[in-house]
Amino acid sequence: MELRLLGKTGLRVSELCLGTMTFGRDAGEETAFRIMDEFEASGGNFFDTADVYNQGRSEEILGKWLSNRNREDYIVATKVRFATSDKPNSVGLTRKHIRHSVEGSLRRLKTDYIDILQVHAWDPITDLSETLSALQALVDEGKVLHIGASNFRAWQLMLALSISRENGLSEFVSLQPQYSLLCRATEFELIPLCVHENIAVLPWSPLKGGVLSGKYTVGGEVPDGTRLRSMVSRGIDVPWKGAEDYYSRVLKAVHRIAQSKGVTDAQVSLAWLLNRKGVTSPIIGARSVEQVRENIGSVDVKLTREEMDELDRASSLYVTYPYDEQAERQQMSGRV
């Protein structure tokens, strides 16, 4: 894997980030260690976790693996926001919960600092100024080096940047949004904002929960042993319900290109994302060494301009002003 700069931080991170949400759930400690060994051997140095992943077990497994290595060689990102217990103040982006959450993450990760602390989602209750000042206190103490956001809308991210600049506080250096061939509305406002502000984009669910892996056929039976099968068994609808034609069109384009190149559907889907403007490091997850090895193989897949265009056309969304092509051409030409 190659290294890419993480926004304006100067940090160099691998072009794929290893997400650890499966650790302690789908992958036990031994399997997780082998997954991380494989990722590291391929040049990976960037790991993403969260305080709520499997009740903290994800952080514990990652921390144990890191404890036998030189901490400076790795970039670790974790998150704070969601409930860590059933107590009334164990949730949100309050000063109290942020402080308590970070202390727990540091303990589980067996480290004295977090490279990137990300707010996991918008908090509609807590004043954003309190959140940003609480994060700044952790930066001042050296417990957090950089801060990032996840699942923010563009106006929320810009508001946070404005408050930070007005008050001399640390700014968000990264954004973790959902982004894939099957989730392209991220491109309307978030990607242009991040490109303009040089904010690193770390897409989560780059395979749309495995839908882009080639394991599924729209309208067909959902295979046993898959994540989607477990969701369906719990009464959750398949993701393409109501959008069968769109999903089918995208999956067929991915599969055609994958077959023509002798690679997998997942590798084509990730290669497309790796080549998108503004993307720094897509977050890949894995339940086995074979899965992480397949995903890492995407960095060697070279898509032609024609193949990128075909995937763009297949996955394009119907939009109106101000996101249609005419409005885009007017902006590019400077006309109003």
**Residues 221 and 238: beta-carbon distance below 8 Å:** no
Burial 126-149 (b: 16+ CB within 10 A, else e): bebeebbebbbebbeeebbbbbbb
Cα separation, 84 vs 316, whole angstroms: 38
Cα separation, 170 vs 112, whole angstroms: 19
Total Cβ atoms within 10 A of residue 166: 9
Closest to 225 in 3D by CA, of 239, 212, 210 = 210
**Residues 207 and 250: beta-carbon distance below 8 Å:** no
Return the amino acid letter for 103: E
> From the candidates 53, 74, 216, 247, which is the catalytic residue?
53
Q: Is 247 a catalytic residue?
A: no
Whether the bond into 322 is cis, omega within 30 of 0: yes
List the catalytic residues.
53
